[in-house]
Chains A and B, each alone.
Chain A
Amino acid sequence: MERVSNMNEAIVVNRLSAAYRKTEVLSQVSFTVKPGTLTSIVGPNGAGKSTLIKSMLELHPRTAGEVSFLGQPYQKAKKKIGYVPQRGSVDWDFPTDALDVVLMGLYGKIGWLKLPRKSDREQAMEALRSMGMEQYANRQISQLSGGQQQRVFLARALVQDAELYFLDEPLAGVDAATERIIMDTLQQLKNRGRTVMVVHHDLQTVEDYYDHVLLLNRTVVAHGPTDEVFTAEQLHRTYGGALRWMREKV
């Protein structure tokens, strides 16, 4: 955990705390993530999963702690970070189409005050195609299904060509086809050496989808390779008695 070794870690979170008003929701969260891994963040409602991502990415104020990405603080590393917020965090009535939303992922590269060029459009189109969404490119975003909206969001993150990806519940309320496309895409990112962290809700699929798990309930309960960490005992510690699915597993 010394500074020297930070260079070999994709993500280092050190004693991070965060609060909403005066209620502390994250306390002394510390963990490190190796490059080229696919990690799920798992925990009960109100465990602070979304807040963890947001406070790492400085979208929510930290009350304490440091975070580094590829050895750099957020402000220096943000060009290397792709973030896929919860689908419900934006107004899908906003007057724009799917292609336009994906293009937003290229705004940083295009440069401020400049307009997207044809090559940018082609790149955005390519990302939509990889999500199986090319026929919806000119569809109003309000006319897309939940799964399609989520695919547009992921396509927007893909064109950013980031090193690190953070996704907040990308599988919430999506159809089976979308779930497969999204997980295949994340797997490909991982295979290309990218580091991916995903807030994930469905305990039944954790073992199939992720190689690492971060069990979170206001602080880190356990973190490591899925086969070591995703055990009945650790889940019980994370969720308390409220987990019925556990009994079936035991």
Chain B
Amino acid sequence: MNLLSYNAQWVLLSTLLLGMAAGSVGVLAYWKRQSLMSDTLSHAALPGVVIGFMIMGSKQLPVMLLAAAVSAYFGAWLVQSIRNSSRVKEDAAMGIVLSVFFGLGIMLLTFANRMPGGGQSGLDHFIFGQAAAMVRSDVTWMAIVAAVVLVVILLLFKEWKVSLFDASFAQGLGLSVRAMNSLYTALLVLVIVIGIQAVGVILIAALMIIPAVSARYWTDSFAKMLILSALFGGGAGLIGTLISTLGKGLPTGPFIVVSASAMFFISLLFGASKGLLVVRYYRKRAKGSGQKAIMAGGVTEGGRG
């Protein structure tokens, strides 16, 4: 069997780590009820990527990613200030920021593509992602940052739990919820920034949302949900990248998302805690054997498998 090249192995490892980081951050977003925020911020990163390119005149990744982070942060700030200073609700604010920034990004992209060297720069890859286009240093950075994100989430496990479940109580314990929120936004932006090259600005959010939602079907423990979501995300990153390297010029992002979606449908059906089959099984059993089973079914249905 033809083993993958050394470089391809590196790419695989890095998308695995990226998927794990995205899956973990996704769980935080899920319980903050801010899954869509990741989508907003990733779209908001596009103008930054292109502006970074235009400033440097060539594809200098560090500058472009820095600009992407600034741009995404600016998007996050805008969502906050629109929400706080007007009657516009958060979901509408996110919709505004997402579409305006993405439109701006695409517009800038057409200009950039007409610049000398722009057409061959592979800027388009930032939209749908192209893991194969990454060079060794990109891959290394991606792996390091993803690992840092994972470590931060694991170290602060209990702090995330209490601040996500009951922010006022966490505040009373002396935990700065504001600091936790800033850290969360920072992790979100980091994952987006390292992910846009491999997965693309449009689909990176899916790598955060889908694994978390899938994990919810399997467990009723926050810790297990984090671990499962990380595994699902990592698995999707790995499998999607693997498939996209099979053919020439296949974009990585869509295959990663398709892999994640497959895991979602399996979870939806077979999930041990809330999967449709399990729920149906306990409903049926409850109907069959009277009051006692109804109580047991009630417990299991929403919760303990």
Measured CB to CB, the residues of A under 8 A from B are: 54, 57-59, 78-79, 81-83, 85, 89-91, 94-97, 100-101, 104, 107-108, 110, 112-113, 115-116, 139-140, 142-143, 156
B172 adjacent to chain A (CB < 8 Å) = yes
**B residues in contact (CB < 8 Å) with A:** 31, 155-159, 161-162, 164-166, 168-169, 171-175, 216, 219-222, 224-225, 298-299, 302-304
Known: A57-B172, A94-B31. 4 other contacts (CB 8 A): A95-B224, A104-B173, A113-B156, A140-B304
User: Do A96 and B161 touch (CB < 8 A)?
Assistant: yes
Inter-chain contact B220/A95, CB cutoff 8 Å: yes
CA A82 to CA B169, docked complex, whole Å? 9
**Contact present for A95 and B219 (CB under 8 Å):** yes
Q: Which residues from chain A contact B165 at a C-beta distance below 8 Å?
A: 90-91, 94, 96, 101, 104
Query: Is the pair A83, B220 in contact by a Cβ cutoff of 8 Å?
Result: no
Secondary structure dominating the interface of A: mixed
Cβ contacts under 8 Å, A140 to chain B: 220, 299, 302-304
A95 CA to B158 CA, complexed, in Å: 13
B166 touches A90 (CB 8 A): yes
Contact of B159 among A78, A89, A95, A112 (CB under 8 A): A112
Closest to B273 in A: A95
Partner of A85, one of B31, B168, B175: B168
Q: How far is the CB of A195 from chain B (nearest CB, A)?
A: 16
Q: Give the CA-CA distance A139 to B216 in the complex, in Å.
A: 17
Given contacts A90-B165, A90-B166, A143-B298, contact A108 B174 (CB under 8 A): yes
Instruction: List, in ascending order, chain B residues with CB within 8 A of A110's CB.
Output: 158
Task: Identify which of A57, A104, A115 contacts B166 (C-beta below 8 A).
Answer: A104
Q: Are A59 and B168 in contact (CB under 8 A)?
A: yes
Q: Select B302's contact among A57, A112, A142, beta carbons within 8 Å.
A: A142
The contact sample of 29 A-B pairs, CB cut-off 8 A, is A59-B168, A83-B168, A89-B166, A94-B165, A94-B222, A95-B216, A95-B220, A95-B221, A95-B224, A96-B220, A97-B221, A104-B162, A104-B166, A104-B173, A107-B158, A107-B159, A107-B162, A107-B175, A108-B173, A112-B159, A112-B175, A115-B157, A115-B158, A139-B299, A139-B303, A140-B304, A142-B302, A142-B303, A143-B298
Q: Which residue of A lies closest to B33 (CB)?
A: A91
Hey, which chain A residues are within 8 Å of B155, CB to CB?
A: 113
The residues of A that contact B156 with a CB separation of less than 8 Å are 113
How close is B173's CB to chain A, nearest CB, in angstroms?
Answer: 4
Shortest distance between the CB of A137 and any CB in chain B (Å): 13
CA–CA, A115 and B302, complex, Å: 27
- Check B168 against A89 for contact (C-beta < 8 Å): yes
**Contact partners of A89 in chain B: CB under 8 A:** 166, 168
Asked whether, in the complex, the Cβ of A78 is within 8 Å of the Cβ of B168, the reply is no
Minimum CB distance partner of B172 in chain A: A83
B303 pairs with A85, CB closer than 8 A: no
Nearest CB of B to A135, in Å: 13
A94 touches B174 (CB 8 A): no
